[in-house]
Amino acid sequence: MKIKIFKGDITKLKTDAIVNAANRSLLGGGGVDGAIHRAAGPELLKECRTLNGCSTGEAKITKAYNLACKHVIHTVGPVWSGGNYDEDQLLKSCYKESIKLAEKYKLQSIAFPNISTGVYRYPKEEAAEIAIKTVRKQLAKCKHLKELVFCVFDDENFKLYNELL
């Protein structure tokens, strides 16, 4: 089992699945969500409309259309509200449920963005600690997944993931 760091745009990755840090509507937004929808093309939004949204901490899978990967796993991270609103459990659940879904579809590789650390303002160090701890624990239970990529976009996350891994 390999855990890698890639710095750059997640839409360029050719892993079996890339994870989208979506919002509960699943109808697109800014940040990584906007980039994924732009690169996948309008068919992605069409499929997302059939899913009836997604709760915070849960995950849903779609095809990837014009993207280089095969599937997009959409998960909804918590908005940071100071730390007393189960943000840590919800963030943990995003990573766990996304990996469970990838495993259910027998996928061999998956790439994650730094969920909730953009517009949703989750403190980056705490988010990175949760992400790494959760994926390690969950990957130990997987039969199909062989590779996991943390796709970092900014220098701060790049530094954090390098240190923590």
The DSSP call for residue 24 is: T
Q: Is 117 in the site for ligand ADP (CB under 6 A)?
A: yes
Count the residues of the shown chain that bind ligand ADP, applying the rule CB under 6 A: 21
- Concatenate the DSSP letters of all residues of 119-132 into one string: TT---HHHHHHHHH
Taking CB under 6 A as the criterion, which residues in 3-62 touch ligand ADP? 9-11, 21, 31-33, 35
CA distances from 126 to 115, 119, 145, 156 (A): 12, 16, 25, 12
The alpha carbons of the chain give a radius of gyration, in whole angstroms, of: 14
- Of these, 44, 56, 64, 77, which contacts ligand ADP (CB under 6 A)? 77
Q: How far apart are the C-alpha atoms of 28 and 21, rounded to whole Å?
A: 10
Return the amino acid letter for 104.
Answer: K
Q: How far is the CB of 145 from ligand ADP (least distance, A)?
A: 20
Which one, 13 or 142, has the nearer CB to ligand ADP? 13
Q: Is 95 in the site for ligand ADP (CB under 6 A)?
A: no
Interface segment toward ligand ADP; rule CB under 6 A; list 42-50, 60-68, 116-124, 131-139: 116-124
Which one, 121 or 141, has the nearer CB to ligand ADP? 121
Q: How far apart are the C-alpha atoms of 121 and 17, rounded to whole Å?
A: 25
CB 130 within 8 A of CB 114: no
- Of these, 95, 120, 150, 161, which contacts ligand ADP (CB under 6 A)? 120
H or E element in which residue 150 lies: strand 147-152
Q: How far is the CB of 90 from ligand ADP (least distance, A)?
A: 11
- By CB under 6 A, name the binding residues for ligand ADP: 9-11, 21, 31-33, 35, 77, 113-120, 151, 153-154, 157
